[in-house]
Amino acid sequence: MSQLYDITIVGGGPVGLFAAFYAHLRQAKVQIIDSLPQLGGQPAILYPEKEILDVPGFPNLTGEELTNRLIEQLNGFDTPIHLNETVLEIEKQEEGFVITTSKGSHLSKTVIIAMGGGAFKPRPLELEGVEGYENIHYHVSNIQQYSGKKVTILGGGTQLLIGLWLLKKLRQLPLFTAEIISAPWNTVSKPYRNHL
């Protein structure tokens, strides 16, 4: 069994990182547990190059920039971070909680669940033999991979927004053509429409 922490945060995305920073400001002994292989959650893993427009104090910054700033903010404190560790059970006991994970157990007086989307599993394209295609992508981790390529964007709502953002970025790359299929513009909120 591990040492007793004041607070254990389950989730290393933006909310979990900021919660850890804020807890340190209150002199709490804090640790973070995340099932993913890196900190940052969705902004870091799914949308590192996507512009984020709704972070207070920043007109826009990318998912990677947001993650780096939150990690930098937390670096001034001793924060054990347990990556690739899935929480299996949280059990209330007299002295606090026992958190059982895929790698062991942790003791904590308080547990904060800061999980957004959890493990990221995109809904795959319903197409026979789709798993055989190497050129179907469900998120953009490196926009340069599309340079010189013909790109088709499928989806609406959030997918449309990401697709439009991708188009905006790719216009700056050489030899690029794109088309959008199934794009209900009314599913994108007005602040994002104006930014595109």
Strand ranges across the sheet with 104-113: 81-82, 30-33, 4-10, 104-113, 96-101, 87-93
Task: Kindly tell me if the per-residue pLDDT of 185 is higher than 80.
Answer: no
> Higher confidence at residue 192 or residue 39?
39
Task: Give the rounded distance of the alpha carbon of 7 from its chain centre.
Answer: 22
Predicted confidence (pLDDT) per residue in 100-122, tens digit: 999 999 999 999 999 876 555 66
- The reply to whether the predicted model has a pTM over 0.75 is no
Evaluate if residue 182 carries a pLDDT over 50: no
pLDDT for position 176: 43
Percent of the chain scoring above 90 in pLDDT: 42
Q: Are 7 and 21 in contact (CB under 8 A)?
A: no
Determine which helix (DSSP H) or strand (DSSP E) holds 18, and give its type and residue range: helix 14-25
Which pLDDT belongs to residue 105?
Answer: 95
pLDDT for residue 58: 87
pLDDT-derived band at 177, boundaries 50, 70, 90: very low
Q: Which two tokens stand for residue 163?
A: 């697709």
Q: For residue 76, what are the contacts with CB-CB under 8 A and spacing of at least 6?
A: 24
Give me the pLDDT at residue 196, please.
46
Q: Are 97 and 90 in contact (CB under 8 A)?
A: yes
Give me the phi and psi of 112, to 5 degrees please. -110, 125
What are the structural domains of the chain?
Answer: 4-113 (3.50.50.60), 122-195 (no CATH)
Q: What is the mean pLDDT of residues 171-181?
A: 49
Name 96's bridge partners.
Answer: 93
Mean local confidence (pLDDT), 79-90: 94
71 — pLDDT class (breaks 50, 70, 90) = very high
